[in-house]
Structure 1
């Protein structure tokens, strides 16, 4: 299977991901203090989602990631949506990215068509209690597969270019996703973990073990870390490089701390404002796919073009 990122790597040596969706929507006036988070706007203000996608493409992103992180049948059901309505909204998340790409390509010239990555958030995201940063779900691998199977099927059927399985906090969920991909043998995915320090994923399990696990999958074309404090990223990339021959990706947050109780970002001494300097360090450490997570903006992503120099 040809790696979907290969043309971008050949062209300029790395891939530029987009940045945050939810926090960027909030900065533009959206109220996302809600368990559906950015998926809330799929119903309330889809045009704002499309505008954020568009702005990331204009900033230079090679990949835009859909607003489906929090979209699941279980999550939508809690708010009165039936299965048919949930499917419609999941499909819309990808359609908005397609439309933004079509609009952006009218005014930008580039050799490779940007990719649309369908976001698959972790099981803990639909609980909306911060457990995607702990991984202590108390459910089996088979239950995790059951949770992800139906939503992944919907997202695949939209024609999205790749699955972005992101903010994965524990080995069991990585195993579930790895096994589930075998049910869709033509699909490529990246799997990205949330980590709590320089060596461990959020569950306390070793990042090295997570990377080794996914190195066995032909369908996982990139592995890495996201929504993790910037100061840990270089060390984690080096661990990944020692344990995989796959492309390594990273899209950290800005270093602030998310409080799941008050549902707000708290200041931290680890806050990083010089995104391009950090990105250059990550690139030199071995990351070939780089973007941003919570609190990053199109202006941050625009800076990544400097890596070409």
Structure 2
């Protein structure tokens, strides 16, 4: 059996921050507001070691250590804008080096605005007066601009050409989905034909299949893919940082919503499906204490790769999505990713 072109599976890496905590004795608290990006300042070699472990596990795509990176975050660490920009751009080189000369793709990790707040608000969407799409559009655009290469940038320091995707992750608000698309529309106009593919993945905490702001999957998909003047269309849409037990139901709702839009000629083609759920076993992250706490709705994390692979296989067999990008978020390790790699390779060989 050969994989249908529309059902190609690409393997993403796993939970960088939680792997740093659980396997590399890193401590993240109020003194480290940049989370995993803090290692760009304190220990880039450790960061490279972790990303190399994910690459060796078989990841096709590595996310850069920039999820919570922002000028505001670096300012809290007394790092001025010019130095902060250099540190953020260095994350691209570190991730590229982690492939150790092997082919691989890089996704520039760009978390929600809420991920840069203290305490983090990407799971709640409580942004205060900054929930407006206009303000969020400018904030996301300014952050992306930090990775552009100017004519004066030495070849050895260029990073934009090293980036294959931009990953806008853990978005909790419908207004932020719209803001990201508008920001990427501006990017397409500014970089003169050197724009990048990007994906948008949202977080679905709690019990229902809704965003923290209450938006339904139908509303989310329409915000992601609906035609809008000046807004770019993502190459991929999906879910991250969400409990594994919710993923298949969410995918089915995504598929129904996209299918309705395709049938109505509201979108030209199916995008990629992007899914990287948590590998938690009932733990819940407390953004105030910055600690993992025992919660309910646990699942057997030892079966995480098997369960996720089965979900991906069923989505693949339906042959709707252009391709499927799958990996892990919080608590997923290089071991999880290696097991997923073996399962994916097995289906390709079948």
TM-score, structure 2 length as denominator?
A: 0.79
Distance 1:148 1:11 in 2: 31
Instruction: Tell me, in whole angstroms, the C-alpha distance in 2 between the residues paired with 1:171 and 1:293.
Output: 21
Give the counterpart of 1:78 among 76, 79, 101: 76
Residue 151 of structure 1 is aligned with which of 134, 139, 143? Answer: 143
Counterpart in 1 of 2:344? 307
> Given that residues 225 and 233 in structure 2 are in contact (C-alpha distance below 8 angstroms), is that contact kept between their aligned partners in structure 1?
no
**Corresponding position of 1:41:** 39
Q: Secondary structure at the match of 1:144?
A: helix
Q: What is the CA distance between 1:9 and its match in structure 2?
A: 7.6
CA distance in 1, matches of 2:141, 2:299: 36
Distance 2:7 2:221 in 1: 25
Shift in alpha-carbon separation, 1:83–1:199, aligned structure 2, 3 A: same
Structure 2: segments with no counterpart, 5+ residues? 150-158, 189-194, 259-269, 317-323
Give the whole-Å Cα distance in 2 for the aligned partners of 1:171 and 1:260.
Answer: 21
Is 1:214 matched up with 2:224?
yes
Secondary structure of the 2:200 match is: strand
Deviation digits for residues 16-75 of structure 1 (CA, Å, limit 9, x no counterpart): 000011111112111222221111110000011111111111101010000001111111
Larger radius of gyration: 2
- Worse overlay, 150-159 or 173-182: 150-159
- d(CA) in 2 for partners of 1:171 and 1:99? 35
Equivalent position SS for 1:164: strand
Compared CA separation, residues 134 and 117, structure 1 to 2 (3 A): same
**Displacement after TM superposition at 1:231 (Å):** 0.9
Residues 141, 186 of structure 2: 8 Å contact kept: no
2:152 corresponds in structure 1 to: none
Distance 1:47 1:162, change over 3 A: same
Distance 2:4 2:10 in 1: 6
Query: Is 1:284 equivalent to 2:313 in the alignment?
Result: yes
Distance in structure 2 (CA, Å) of the matches to 1:184 and 1:261:
34
Any unmatched runs of 5+ in structure 1?
A: 1-7, 106-112
Equivalent position SS for 1:116 = strand
RCO (CA 8 Å, sep 6+): is it higher in 1 or 2? 2
CA–CA distance in 2 between the matches of 1:293 and 1:156?
27
After TM superposition, give the deviation of residue 280 of structure 1 in Å.
Answer: 2.2
Residue of structure 1 aligned with 2:20, choices 25, 29, 36: 25
Q: CA deviation at 1:172?
A: 0.6
Q: Which residue of 2 aligns with 1:109?
A: none
What is the Cα deviation at residue 307 of structure 1?
Answer: 2.8
Aligned residue for 1:183, secondary structure, equals helix
Q: Is the 8 A contact 1:195 1:225 kept in 2?
A: yes
Q: Which of 129, 133, 136 is matched with 2:119 structurally?
A: 129
User: Whole-Å Cα distance in 1 between the matches of residues 18 and 212 of structure 2?
Assistant: 21
Query: In angstroms, what is the RMSD of aligned CA positions?
Result: 1.9
**TM-score normalised by structure 1 residue count:** 0.90
Which residue pairs with 2:277 in the alignment?
252
Q: Distance in 2 between matches of 1:126 and 1:296?
A: 22
- Report runs of 4+ in structure 1 exceeding 6 Å deviation: none
Q: Distance in 2 between matches of 1:228 and 1:172?
A: 20
CA distance in 2, matches of 1:77, 1:247: 36
What's the offset of the Cα at 1:145?
Answer: 1.5
Separation of aligned partners in 2, 1:104 and 1:252: 28
The alignment of Structure 1 onto Structure 2 pairs a total of residues equal to 294
